[in-house]
Structure 1
Amino acid sequence: MTTGFIQLWTGLLCLTLCFGHDSRNSCAMDADTCEFYLYVTTWLPMRRGFNQKVYINESDGNVYIHGDQSRTPVDPDDVVLADGSKHERVLTLFNKTMPGPTLTVYRNQEVIVHVTNHMLSDGVTIHFHGIEMRGTPWMDGAAFITQCPILPGQTFSYRFRPNRKGTYFYHSHTGAQTNMGLVGAFIVKEKKQDEMKEYVMVVQDYSNLYDSDRLYTAGVLLGIFSPDGVPFFPSYERIDGSNSPLLEFTSSLINGRGRVLDQQGGKMTKTPLSTFNVEKGLKYKFRIVGGGYGIQHKLSVDGHKLKVVATDGNDIEPITADFVIMHSGERFDIVIEASEAVGNYWIRADTLHKSINLTGLAILRYEGAVETDPESGTNECTESSPCTVVNCPFETFPNWNCITSDKMRAPDTSDPAPTASSGNFKEFFVNVGYALSDNGEVWGHMGGISLKLPTVSALTQPMEVTGICDNSNSCGPNKVCFCNHPLDVNFGDIVQMTFYSAGFLNIVHHPIHVHGYSFHVVKVGFKGSNANFTADINCPSGLCYSDASWVDRSWKEGNIPDVDVTRLPRKDTVTLPAGGYVVIRFMADNPGLWFIHCHQEMHMQIGMGLLLNDSFPQIPSPPPGFPECRNYPPPTILKPTRNNSDDSDTAAATTTTERTFSREEFWGMFGAMLFVVVLQFILAMTCNRRSSQTVKF
C-alpha cells in the first residue's frame, strides 16, 4: 500500500471535514485555514436532474417537472432557473449552481480552494477578482499568464491569504466562460461581528439563445446573419449616445434568476425571482457584484434610497443615492433602511439601453407582506427633484446629479495616493479600443497592440515566452500589431496609467481591470458635447495608438490640477468613458506578472489587454511541482535569473523516497478514517435538523 493510496483516502476525508468550513460556504472566524471545493461542469437551465425537465406554471408561478402526474411543486433552489425560458443552452457552472456558491472568509486567513474540472473538452482557470495575491502571484488564475489551464479531470488547489476586507468575486479566466455561468461571490470580512444583516447580490447579463462560443464565432470571426442570410450588426444605442457591444442578450439575472420582458416591461416568463426579506425599521447591507459579460446595469430599489458605502472592496465616504451604475467587474456595497410601508418592492437592475428592455428584477419583501409580485413604481427623476446617480460613465444627464468614479471620496486621509516625489515616476498612455485588420476583421487593442497570449505559463516559465513585440511587428501610431508587449516597472516605482478612448469605434464604455492591485482613481475625463474625443489629450496621428500626450504639458509628472490626492477613491476596476479617459495611480510593490484588460469578456478575447511586468527580479519562485505547459517541440529553455532560493528544497523534494505501508497499518488507518466519516455524517445531520433558518437567494 503506497502513500498515494493513503492520500486518496485523506482527500475523501477532507471532503467531509473542511477546516473551519460550514454548509453555507462560510469560514469560522477563529479558523486558521478555510478550505473549499469547487466542481466545474456543464449543465442546462430548467433541469433538476437526469431526465427531469421543469416548467413554470403560468397560473400559480410554481415549478413542476414535465410528466409528473402528482403535480408536486419543485423547490426553485433545486433548479438553475435563469430567465425561465424554454430555450436550452449549455451552461458551465460551479457546483451546478448559478451563480456559484458565495465563499466567505476573514482577512489574512489561509484560503484553499480546490477546483476540479469535470468538463469533457475545455480547460479552466479561476481568478479571484480584486484579491491582490501578494506573495503568491502564481495563484492569480489568468490562463497562460500566471498558470496553465486546469485540464479535464484535473484538480488545481488555489492557496492564498486575502489581505483586504471587502466584496470580491471569483470567475473563470479562460476563454469566455464567465458568460457560460462560471462566477460566484467571494467575501472577505474583518474578524468582528457584522453590524447588520448582509445579503449578496450577483448581477449578470444573460442570453437564453446563445452561449459565448457562438457569440464570439458569429460576432467576431464570421459576422452575424439573420436566418435569411441578411447580415446585421446588433449594436444598441445607450441613453448617452454610446453603444452597447454587438451581443444579443435576452435578460438580466439577479442571483441567477430573471424574466424575459417585452419593451413595455410586460413579463414574458414568470420565473420565481430572488427575494430579500427585511424587517421594518432595520438596516441591511447589500454586497452587489457586477458579474456580467458586457452590459452596464443601473441598480435601484423602488421607494428606497441607497447608501453607498464601499466600491471594489474599499470604503468610501457614504453617498445617499437613487441609482448606482456598475459595469462588469465592479462591486458596490450599499445599505438600505427598511423604512417604508410593509409590502413588496422591486429591486431593479436596469440597463442603459434606449430601445431594448433587459431589466433584471428581484423582490425586497417586508416581513408580513403577502407573497406576490410588487406593484411599486420606479424612482422618478425631475428637474425640480433630480436623482443622485453614483458611478456615471458620462459627465451629465438630464435630471441626474452624476457622481463619477473620481468624485467619490475615501472616508479619511489615512491612505493618500502616491505622488511623483514618492518614488521613480513612470507615466503610461494606453489607447483602449478597436482596430480594423487588413481583411476587415475588428480586433481589440491596448496601445495599438492586440494581445496574443503566450503558449506557456508566462509568470512561471518566463524564459519560454515567445511572441514578444519587436521591430519585426511594425507597430506604430496608426498600425496595430498582434503580439505581447509587457510594460516593465520596478519595485517602488510610482505608476500612473492614462487609459483613453480614441480612434476607430471609440463609442463604447470599457471597464478596465488591473490584476494584483487596487489603485487610486485620479481623474476621469469626458469628450466634449460636440466632439468624439476629449480635449485634454493630444493625438497627433489619426488613430493615436501610441503617441498621445497631455495637451497642457504642465500636467506631466503627475501634476494634474484640482486633484486632492489625500482622499482619492481606491478601485480595481474602473469604467473608461467612450471618447474620454481615466487616470489611475499606484506604487509598484507587488512583484508579479499582472494582466490589465477590458473586463467585457469578448473584448478581452479579441486582444484588449496588456501585461504589467512588475519587479521581475523580486518575483518569488512558484511552489515545487507547479504545472507547466508548452508547445511541442518546445523552444530552447534558458535559465531564469530571478530569485530561486527554494531550488535546493525543490531538488530535495524530487528525490524523496515514497514511503510504503504494511497491510495491517493500512487497514488500521482505513478503519479510523471510516469511523470519523460516519461520525461527521451523524453530526452534520443533527446540525441540519437544528438549523433555525436558511437564507435563500
Structure 2
Amino acid sequence: MKTSNTRARKNSGVHGAVMLKGCTKWRPTKTPALDQPPFGTPKHTKSTKSAKSTKSTKATKSTKVSSKPYATASGFTTVTTNSALSTITPISSGTTKKSTAVSSSRATASASTCASEFNKREEEEDDECTPCEGQSGSLPYCGADVNTDHYQFTPKTCRTVYYEFDITNGTVAPDGFERIAFLINGQMPGPTIEANWGDTVVLKVNNKLTVNGTSVHFHGIRQLNTVENDGVPSITQCPIAPGESFTYKFVATNYGTSWYHSHYAIQAWMGVFGPMVIHGPTSKEYDVDAGTIFLNDWSHETVDSLYDAAQDSVNGGPRIMDNGLINGMNTWGVQGSSNQTGQRFELPTQLEPGKTYLFRIINGAIQSSYKWYIDGHKLQVIGMDFTSIVPYETDIISINIGQRYMVLVKADQPAGDYWMRADNQNACDETTQADDIKAIVRYSGSDSKSVPTTTKYNYTGECVDEPLSSLVPVAKLNPTSSDVEFVEDVTLSTVDNLFKWYLSGTTFMSHYEDPTLVRILANGTAPTYAGDLVLSLPEMGKWVYIIVESAIPLPHPIHLHGHDFFILAAGNGTYSKSTPLNFNNPPRRDTAIMPAAGFLVLGFLTDNPGTWLMHCHIGWHTSEGFALQIVEGLDMIEGTVKDKCGLYDTCAKWDDWVESVAFYQQDSGV
C-alpha cells in the first residue's frame, strides 16, 4: 500500500456520549496507524482455506435447516418450472429469534426497556400467521400477478428462509491462474439466495476473515422500513469485525433477479458476492429456468493491490483487467494452445428443441460492461433489475455494472454446441481477454466435449444502456412533477496525487466507526462532518428528482439504495430545463447509466425512511468519493429500526478490533 500518499481519517469523537444503556458500551476509537490495509489480504497472511475449483456448486453450509427440511441445500425445491408463476417450497418456515435487545429511545433507555421491547417483538413474531390473510387468492402470490404494483402490495406468505454464510480467506484459480481471494462457504461466487416474493429472508454472516471487516448488501432490495439491514458500513452499520457475526432480516417486497455483495470498500471483488433470486410472476411464460449467469471481471492481482495504482494520479489510473468470468469460470490463454489454462462454464441444462429457457443475467463486475448473447439465438427480454417489462426481442443485450436482465431463449436452432458470450466493452474499461469471455451451451443428446465453432455477432462496441424506449414496465406507473430537485455535477480532481471524484464540489467521505444510521438513532441528527454529502428529505410522499451530469467522456452506472427510480431522461451533452422528461410509464430500475459526457435524470417518491447511499457502481470510483447519502424521513427512521442494540454492539466490537490492530481507513468508507 502507498501509505505515504494516503491520509488517515480523524476520529469523530462522538461515541462515548451516545451509547444506549442496556447495550454493549460503545467506546471512542483511537486514531488509526498508517500501516494496515483496510481490505484485501496482506501478502504475508496465509490462507486459511483453499478452493482449487471455483465452479458455483451448492455449498453444504448455504442454509440453516429447521426441523422441517425440504431437500435441497440451496433452500428450495422447484415444484413447477413450466409456468410464469413457478411455485417454490422453502426449506423452513417460522420466525427468527434474535439474541440482542431492542430499545425504543436513543439515550435514556434502560436495560429493562430493551428487554421489554425485545419480548414484545418476539411475541408479535410468534403470533400465528395465515398465508394471504386479507388478500385475494392463494399462494404463491396471494392473487397478485405481473400487473400488480409491488410498491403497494406484498404477498403475505408467512414463510421465512434462512441462510448462513462463512466468509473466509482462500485461494482460487477460476481461469487456471491461482491467487488469493475471499470465499463464501468455500466458493466463489457465493451460494444463490432464493426466496419467493413476500418471503422473509434471514442471513447470518460470520466474518472468519483474518484481517478484514465485512458486510453484505442485497443489491436492489428496497429494505422497506428495514434500513438497518441494507449492509453498508459507515451508512447503516459498522463493519462486522473479524471473528464476529451479524444477522440480516428483511421481507422481499420486490421480485426478480439480483445479487448480493460486500459493501466494505472494494471487498466484493475479492470474491464476496453471489446471485440472488426472488421468484415472482413474469411477463411471459417459459418452460425451464436455466438459472443465473453471473458475470464479473477478473485480475491475476488482488483488487486491493490494483486500487493503489487505480487511485494514483501520477503513475497509475484506470486498470486493465486480465479476464472475465461466467459463473466463476473461464480459460486463460489462446484457445487450443498448449499453455491454455482453466475451463469454460458449461450450462448444466442441455437445450431441448422447441422449449423456451429463462436466463437470469447479472453483471457483478468492478469496472466492466458487457454485451451478452448466445450465438445464433434470438433473445426475448422480459425483466430488468427488479422490474417486469413488456417483452421485446433483440440479438444482444448491453448489461452494465450492477444491472440484471431476465432473458428468454427458445431452442429453435439446429442441435449442436453454441458459444454463450459476454464481450467486454473496452470503450469503457479494458480487459486483456475482452473477446474471449465465453461459456458453452449444448443441445440435448449431445455427447460432444468439443469446443463450439459458432461465430459471434457483429455489433458496435459501446457502453450504453438498452434503449429506454424498449424498457417498458408491465405495471404502469406515472411520476409527477418534482417537489424537490437536486443537481449533482460530476468532476474528477486530485488530492495528494490521488484521484478523487466530486459531486458538486464535494468528494464523499464517511467513517466506518460512525455510521449515519447509528448517529441518527443516538443523537437524532444526521452527520455534519466534511464530506458527508447528505441530501435531506424530511417529508414523505414527495417526488424527488436528481440530475447527475458530467462533461467527462466516461459513462457511469448510477445505483440508488432503498428505491427503484424512474429514468425521466438520459443523454449526451448538458441537461437544461428545456430537456423533455418522460412521465408516461418510464423505465424503473435501481441501476442505470449516466452516458459519457452526458446526464441522467432520475426520480423517486419518498416512501421509505432511512439512510440510503447513491453511488457510481464502478468500484474504484465509489472508493474515490463518487457517492452521496440520502437521509429520508429523519423523524420516522427510529421507529423502523428493530434492533438498535444489535447495531451498537456491532460498532462496539468493531471498535475493539480496531484498537487491537494497526488499522486505517483508506477509501471513502463505502
For the structure 1 residues 310 and 20, does the alpha-carbon distance in structure 2 shift closer, same or farther, using more than 3 Å as the test?
farther
Residue 563 of structure 2 is aligned to residue 517 of structure 1: yes
- 1 CA distance for matches of 2:340 and 2:644? 52
Normalising by structure 2, report the TM-score.
0.70
Secondary structure at 2:366 match in 1: coil
Are the aligned partners of 2:569 and 2:582 in contact in 1 as well (CA < 8 Å)?
no
- 2 CA distance for matches of 1:164 and 1:84? 38
- 2 CA distance for matches of 1:374 and 1:33? 43
Match of 1:306 in 2: 379
Match of 2:51 in 1: none
For the structure 1 residues 499 and 35, does the alpha-carbon distance in structure 2 shift closer, same or farther, using more than 3 Å as the test?
same
Are the aligned partners of 1:302 and 1:347 in contact in 2 as well (CA < 8 Å)?
yes
Instruction: Tell me the amino acid that sits aligned with residue 589 of structure 1.
Output: D
- 1 CA distance for matches of 2:273 and 2:67? 22
Mapping for residues 239-318 of structure 1, pairs under 5 Å: 246-261=318-333, 269-276=340-347, 277-318=350-391
Alpha-carbon shift at residue 365 of structure 1 (Å):
0.7
1:349-403: CA deviation from partner (whole Å, max 9, x where unpaired)? 101126843231101111122122101110235xxxxx8x9xx645xxxxxxx84
Which consecutive residues of structure 2, in runs of 5 or more, have no partner in the other structure?
A: 1-60, 77-87, 94-158, 657-670
Are the aligned partners of 1:19 and 1:34 in contact in 2 as well (CA < 8 Å)?
no
Picking from 319, 328, 334, the partner of 2:401 is: 328
Match of 2:542 in 1: 493
Pick which of 273-282 and 576-585 moved more: 273-282
Residue 517 of structure 2 is aligned to residue 459 of structure 1: yes
Instruction: Tell me the amino acid that sits aligned with residue 344 of structure 2.
Output: L
Mapping for residues 413-452 of structure 1, pairs under 5 Å: 414-420=475-481, 425-437=483-495, 439-452=496-509
For the structure 1 residues 106 and 20, does the alpha-carbon distance in structure 2 shift closer, same or farther, using more than 3 Å as the test?
farther
Are the aligned partners of 2:483 and 2:542 in contact in 1 as well (CA < 8 Å)?
yes
Alpha-carbon shift at residue 218 of structure 1 (Å):
2.6
- 2 CA distance for matches of 1:217 and 1:128? 27
Mapping for residues 9-24 of structure 1, pairs under 5 Å: 15-17=64-66, 22-24=71-73
Match of 1:658 in 2: none
Mapping for residues 530-679 of structure 1, pairs under 5 Å: 534=573, 536-537=574-575, 550=576, 553=577, 555=578, 560-561=579-580, 563-619=581-637, 620-628=640-648, 629=651
- 2 CA distance for matches of 1:178 and 1:21? 31
1:49-95: CA deviation from partner (whole Å, max 9, x where unpaired)? xxxxxxxxxxxxxxxxxxxxxxxxxxxxxxxxx1112xx32111111
Instruction: Tell me the amino acid that sits aligned with residue 84 of structure 1.
Output: G
Alpha-carbon shift at residue 253 of structure 1 (Å):
0.1
Are the aligned partners of 2:310 and 2:316 in contact in 1 as well (CA < 8 Å)?
no
For the structure 1 residues 22 and 115, does the alpha-carbon distance in structure 2 shift closer, same or farther, using more than 3 Å as the test?
farther
- 2 CA distance for matches of 1:40 and 1:18? 25
Match of 1:29 in 2: 89
Residue 308 of structure 2 is aligned to residue 217 of structure 1: yes
For the structure 1 residues 327 and 22, does the alpha-carbon distance in structure 2 shift closer, same or farther, using more than 3 Å as the test?
farther
- 2 CA distance for matches of 1:21 and 1:493? 44
Alpha-carbon shift at residue 265 of structure 1 (Å):
10
1:291-315: CA deviation from partner (whole Å, max 9, x where unpaired)? 1111111111111111111110211
Match of 1:672 in 2: none
Normalising by structure 1, report the TM-score.
0.67
Secondary structure at 1:568 match in 2: coil
- 2 CA distance for matches of 1:259 and 1:520? 39
Alpha-carbon shift at residue 469 of structure 1 (Å):
5.4
Are the aligned partners of 1:417 and 1:568 in contact in 2 as well (CA < 8 Å)?
yes
- 1 CA distance for matches of 2:338 and 2:504? 44
Are the aligned partners of 1:520 and 1:584 in contact in 2 as well (CA < 8 Å)?
yes
For the structure 1 residues 571 and 469, does the alpha-carbon distance in structure 2 shift closer, same or farther, using more than 3 Å as the test?
same
Alpha-carbon shift at residue 465 of structure 1 (Å):
9.8
Residue 483 of structure 2 is aligned to residue 407 of structure 1: no
For the structure 1 residues 456 and 300, does the alpha-carbon distance in structure 2 shift closer, same or farther, using more than 3 Å as the test?
same
Secondary structure at 2:354 match in 1: coil
Instruction: Tell me the amino acid that sits aligned with residue 39 of structure 1.
Output: D
Alpha-carbon shift at residue 467 of structure 1 (Å):
10
Instruction: Tell me the amino acid that sits aligned with residue 197 of structure 1.
Output: V
Secondary structure at 2:603 match in 1: strand
Instruction: Tell me the amino acid that sits aligned with residue 484 of structure 1.
Output: L
Are the aligned partners of 1:306 and 1:336 in contact in 2 as well (CA < 8 Å)?
yes
Are the aligned partners of 2:473 and 2:588 in contact in 1 as well (CA < 8 Å)?
no
Are the aligned partners of 2:313 and 2:499 in contact in 1 as well (CA < 8 Å)?
no
For the structure 1 residues 461 and 194, does the alpha-carbon distance in structure 2 shift closer, same or farther, using more than 3 Å as the test?
farther
Instruction: Tell me the amino acid that sits aligned with residue 304 of structure 2.
Output: D
Are the aligned partners of 2:485 and 2:546 in contact in 1 as well (CA < 8 Å)?
yes
Secondary structure at 2:422 match in 1: strand
1:190-231: CA deviation from partner (whole Å, max 9, x where unpaired)? 2899842112100000002x11210112321586xxxxxxx4
Secondary structure at 1:83 match in 2: coil
- 2 CA distance for matches of 1:523 and 1:261? 42
Instruction: Tell me the amino acid that sits aligned with residue 458 of structure 1.
Output: T
Residue 190 of structure 2 is aligned to residue 100 of structure 1: yes
Mapping for residues 39-118 of structure 1, pairs under 5 Å: 39-46=166-173, 82-85=174-177, 88-118=178-208
Alpha-carbon shift at residue 564 of structure 1 (Å):
4.4
Are the aligned partners of 1:523 and 1:583 in contact in 2 as well (CA < 8 Å)?
yes
For the structure 1 residues 501 and 465, does the alpha-carbon distance in structure 2 shift closer, same or farther, using more than 3 Å as the test?
farther
- 1 CA distance for matches of 2:565 and 2:504? 20
Instruction: Tell me the amino acid that sits aligned with residue 621 of structure 1.
Output: V
Instruction: Tell me the amino acid that sits aligned with residue 29 of structure 1.
Output: T
Residue 293 of structure 2 is aligned to residue 201 of structure 1: yes
Secondary structure at 1:281 match in 2: coil
Instruction: Tell me the amino acid that sits aligned with residue 567 of structure 2.
Output: V
Residue 240 of structure 2 is aligned to residue 146 of structure 1: no
Instruction: Tell me the amino acid that sits aligned with residue 625 of structure 1.
Output: C
Secondary structure at 2:305 match in 1: helix
For the structure 1 residues 465 and 177, does the alpha-carbon distance in structure 2 shift closer, same or farther, using more than 3 Å as the test?
farther
Alpha-carbon shift at residue 624 of structure 1 (Å):
4.7
1:395-449: CA deviation from partner (whole Å, max 9, x where unpaired)? xxxxxxx843x3233244x4323202xxx61111112342223x33210222221
Are the aligned partners of 2:501 and 2:507 in contact in 1 as well (CA < 8 Å)?
yes
Are the aligned partners of 1:259 and 1:267 in contact in 2 as well (CA < 8 Å)?
no
For the structure 1 residues 167 and 266, does the alpha-carbon distance in structure 2 shift closer, same or farther, using more than 3 Å as the test?
farther
- 2 CA distance for matches of 1:19 and 1:599? 40
Match of 1:376 in 2: 454
Taking only aligned residues, the RMSD between alpha carbons, in angstroms, comes to: 2.8
Secondary structure at 1:625 match in 2: helix
Alpha-carbon shift at residue 328 of structure 1 (Å):
1.3
- 1 CA distance for matches of 2:470 and 2:235? 33
- 2 CA distance for matches of 1:279 and 1:117? 43
Equivalenced residue count is: 501
Match of 1:360 in 2: 437
Secondary structure at 1:486 match in 2: strand
- 1 CA distance for matches of 2:279 and 2:488? 35
